Amino acid sequence: MGMKKISLVLILGIFLIGIVNASYCCEKTVLGAYCQNVDEESQCATGTNPLTGEEYKSISALCESTSYCKIGTCVNAVEGTCLQSPKIICEANSGTWKGESADSIAQCNLGCCLIGSNAAFVTKITCNKFSEMYGVTTRFQEGVTDETTCLANANPDDEGACVYVQEYSTTCERTTKEECNNRAENSSLSNITFHSGYLCTAEDLGSICSKPTSLSNAQTKCDDNGNVVFVDGCGNLANIYDSSKINDFNYWEKITESDCTDNEGNKNSATCGDCDYLLGSFCGDKEDNSVDAGDYICKNLDCVDYTGEYSGGGDYPRHGESWCETTGTENSVGSTDFKLLCMNGEVTIDECDSGRDKICVQNESEYVSGFALANCRKNYWEDCTSQNKSEECENSDARDCKWISYHDYTFTDEGLTPDEDIDGVCVPLYPPGFERDQNQEVIGGEICSMATTNCLVMYEKSGALGDYECVENCYCDPDDSDYDNFRDRISEICTSLGDCGVKDNYFEKSGKYAITDDEIFKIKRYREADPD
Tens digits of residue pLDDT in 381-431: 989 988 988 999 999 999 999 998 876 777 877 777 777 777 888 999 988
Is 344's pLDDT higher than 80?
Answer: yes
What is the Cα–Cα distance from 254 to 1, expressed in whole angstroms? 26
Do 209 and 296 lie in one domain? The reply is: yes
CB 431 within 8 A of CB 336: no
- Regarding whether 115 and 33 lie in a shared domain, the answer is yes
Please, which pLDDT band fits residue 328 given cuts at 50, 70 and 90?
low
The tens digit of pLDDT for each residue in 35-44 reads 889 989 999 9
- Summarised one tens digit per residue, pLDDT across range 56-110 is 989 898 888 888 888 888 988 877 888 888 888 888 788 888 888 888 888 888 8
Amino acid at 473: N
Q: In what order do the strands lie in the sheet with 322-326?
A: 322-326, 337-343, 346-353
Say if residue 111 is in the same domain as residue 145: yes
Same domain, 393 and 473: yes
Q: Is 277 within a domain? A: yes
Residue 17, domain member (yes or no)? no
Identify which has the larger pLDDT, 448 or 46: 46
Q: Which residues contact 104 (CB under 8 A, 6 or more apart)?
A: none
Single-letter amino acid, residue 10: L
Residue 316 lies in a domain: no
Give the largest Cα separation in the chain, rounded: 141
Q: Which of 227, 195, 228, 224 is nearest to 209 (CA)?
A: 195
Residue 82 lies in a domain: yes
Domain boundary among 118, 152, 186: 152
User: Residues 285, 399: one domain?
Assistant: no
Tell me the residue range of the domain where 359 lies: 322-378
pTM score: 0.61
- What are the pLDDT digits (tens) for 285-308? 998 889 999 999 999 999 999 998
Report the b/e string of 460-473 with b at 16+ CB within 10 A: beeeeeeeeebeeb
Examine the domain organization and report whether 362 and 486 are in the same domain. Answer: no
User: Count of domains in the chain?
Assistant: 4
Identify the three-state secondary structure at position 431. Answer: coil
- Do the domain assignments include residue 8? no
Residue 13 lies in a domain: no
Q: Indicate whether 90 and 107 sit together in one domain.
A: yes
Query: In the 8-state DSSP scheme, what is residue 131?
Result: H
pLDDT the model gives residue 152: 75
Same domain, 339 and 214: no
Three-state secondary structure of 324-381 = EEECCCCCCECCCEEEEEEECCEEEEEEEECCCCEEEEECHHHCECCECCEEEEECCC
pLDDT digits (tens, 9 = 90+) for 109-153: 888 888 877 788 888 888 888 888 777 888 888 878 888 778 777
If asked whether residues 42 and 144 sit together in one domain, one would say yes
- For residue 36, CA distances in Å to 66, 90, 95, 174 come to 11, 15, 20, 61
Judgement on whether residues 388 and 521 belong to the same structural domain of the protein = yes
Least confident stretch, 15-19, 89-93, 195-199 = 15-19
CB neighbourhood size of 185 (10 A):
9
Domain end call among 124, 152, 180: 152
Contacts of 323 (CB under 8 A, 6+ apart): 310, 311, 312, 317, 339, 340, 362, 372, 374
- Which residues, 6+ apart, have CB-to-CB distance to 30 below 8 Å? 42, 43, 44, 45
14 located within any domain: no
Confirm whether 46 is domain-assigned: yes
- From its phi and psi, is residue 294 left (phi > 0), alpha (psi between -120 and 50) or beta? left
Same domain, 289 and 326: no
Please give the full DSSP string across 175-209, using - where no structure is assigned. Answer: EEHHHHHHHHHHSS-EEEEEEETB-TT-GGG--S-
Taking all residues of the chain, what is their mean pLDDT, rounded to a whole number? 82
Contact 273, 300 (CB under 8 A): no
Please report, for residues 137, 159, 279, 315, 477, the alpha-carbon distance to residue 323 in angstroms, rounded to integers and kept in the order given: 40, 42, 17, 14, 45
Query: Which of 130, 152, 174 is the C-terminal boundary of a domain?
Result: 152
Rounded to whole angstroms, the Cα distance separating 472 from 481 reads 14
Q: Same domain for 237 and 354?
A: no
Report residue 440's pLDDT band, with 50, 70 and 90 as the boundaries: low
Question: What secondary structure letter does DSSP report for 64?
Answer: G
